Each structure stands twice: as structure tokens, then as C-alpha cells.
């Protein structure tokens, strides 16, 4: 097994995707946290996009982009969290990409500073959740009974939604209630629970409180 180091930011949902995969696949790893508001020079030197996650393999090889990192981690260990059938695998990749869009829409909703933008992003977010609901309603995990890379990619969204609904009264999950059993299954899974630091929720709420985002006014 190569030596694996994950470069992270404590609040980043894309990094969580890779931590979930590392934990699911029982891969030993070190994690290094950086401050994205003050990126270290060594990080800028190795990261082509300036974004986390970055995976360092045996100290010198670099991978970036969470979906790519996760496929690599999946391929160096077994059993695979991707389906064998090429069409189903391609579909899973498409839903992982859909999940990236969902994360970005959720983020725009969270940081909106004007009511019109907040409403616009809320509507977009709900529309995406309804599309996802049509795909997964009634299933334990995205692929049916077994946890896959799609679940690893989408679980961080459900952590955000759960905190937003409980602490910010956003009432988003009510708009796509068919997602609730799947969300609960993911959020109680050890890999998902352990993908963040213990004080994640406090850090998340404090960052929101210190921002100009309209949602800060909803903090309960």
C-alpha cells in the first residue's frame, strides 16, 4: 500500500468525499489541514487548481479532484465501490458529477447575501433534490443495498442539509422527503460520521455567523 497523505480544509465537503472512501476502504492515511484563506506556498506549488482535496502518494506523486482521487483509491484496493458493468459505472460517474453541481448550488445558497439570490439558489437546490429523489426513492443506498462511490460523493451534501434544516430552519429535506431514509442511512455510517472533525458543526456555524450571508440571520 502506498503512503497516502490527504491535504484538507476542515469545512470542505469535497475532501469529505475522499475521507469517506479512505475509511470505507480501510486505507491508512495522514491528513494535513490548511487554511484556504491563507494557502501555504507549498500547497500552491503542488495544487494545479489551488483547491482541496489533494492526495500525495509516496510523498511525491500528486492527484487532485475528489472524483478522480476516489476512483484511484478504489482501484488500488478491493472490493470495488464501483459497479462492474460499464453502463452502470458510467451512470454512477454521471451522478457523482451531478453531486458536484448539487454541492456548488448548496454553497451558493449558503453564501447568498441578497434575498433574490437566496431565493433563486433555494429553488435550484430544491429542483436538484427532487431529481435525485426520483432516482433513489426507496433504496438503502444509491446502488440498492451496497454503499458505492456515489454515496461517498453525495453524503457530504446530506450533512450540510441536516445542519441547515436543524440550525438554520431551511426546511429543504421536506421538499424531497423520499431522500430522508437514504440520507439517514448515510449519516449514521461510521465512515461518513468520521469524515469530519468533532467540532465540524461549530466551525461551520461560526464561519457562517462571521460572514455576510443572509442565512446567518437564521442561526438557532
What residue ranges bind ligand GSH (CB under 6 A)?
A: 9, 12-14, 36, 50-53, 65-67, 100
Q: How far is the CB of 196 from ligand GSH (least distance, A)?
A: 12
Do 58 and 114 touch, CB atoms closer than 8 A?
no
C-beta of 97: minimal distance to ligand GSH in Å?
10
Minimal CA–CA distance to 1: which of 58, 55, 54, 56? 58
Q: Of the two residues 67 and 215, which places its CB atom closer to ligand GSH in the complex?
A: 67
* Residue with Cβ nearer ligand GSH (9 or 98): 9
| Radius of gyration in angstroms for the set of CA atoms belonging to the chain, rounded to a whole number | 17
Q: Smaller CB distance to ligand GSH: residue 89 or 207? A: 207
Q: How far is the CB of 138 from ligand GSH (least distance, A)?
A: 28
Q: Which is nearer to ligand GSH, 21 or 84 (CB)?
A: 21
Angle at 63 between CA 61 and CA 67, to 5 degrees: 155
Q: What is the dihedral of CA 14, 161, 216, 51, to 10 degrees?
A: 10
**Shortest distance in whole angstroms from residue 186 CB to ligand GSH:** 18
Amino acid at each position: 500500500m502506498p503512503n497516502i497523505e490527504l491535504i484538507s480544509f476542515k469545512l470542505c465537503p469535497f475532501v469529505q468525499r475522499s475521507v469517506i472512501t479512505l475509511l470505507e476502504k480501510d486505507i491508512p492515511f495522514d491528513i494535513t489541514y490548511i487554511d484556504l484563506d491563507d494557502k501555504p506556498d507549498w500547497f500552491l506549488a503542488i495544487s494545479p487548481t489551488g483547491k482541496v482535496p489533494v492526495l500525495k502518494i509516496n510523498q511525491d506523486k500528486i492527484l487532485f479532484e475528489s472524483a478522480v482521487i476516489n476512483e484511484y483509491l478504489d482501484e488500488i484496493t478491493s472490493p470495488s465501490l464501483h459497479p462492474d458493468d460499464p453502463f452502470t459505472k458510467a451512470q454512477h460517474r454521471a451522478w457523482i458529477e451531478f453531486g458536484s453541481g448539487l454541492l456548488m448550488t448548496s454553497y451558493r445558497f449558503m453564501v447568498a447575501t441578497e434575498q433574490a439570490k437566496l431565493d433563486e439558489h433555494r429553488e435550484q437546490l430544491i429542483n436538484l433534490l427532487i431529481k435525485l429523489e426520483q432516482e433513489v426513492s426507496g433504496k438503502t443506498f444509491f446502488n440498492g443495498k451496497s454503499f458505492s462511490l456515489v454515496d461517498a460523493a453525495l453524503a457530504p451534501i446530506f450533512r450540510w442539509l441536516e445542519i441547515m434544516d436543524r440550525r438554520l430552519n431551511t426546511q429543504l429535506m421536506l421538499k424531497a422527503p423520499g431522500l430522508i431514509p437514504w440520507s439517514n442511512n448515510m449519516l449514521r455510517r461510521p465512515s461518513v460520521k468520521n469524515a469530519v472533525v468533532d467540532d465540524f458543526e461549530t466551525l461551520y456555524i461560526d464561519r457562517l455567523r462571521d460572514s455576510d450571508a443572509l442565512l446567518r440571520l437564521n442561526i438557532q
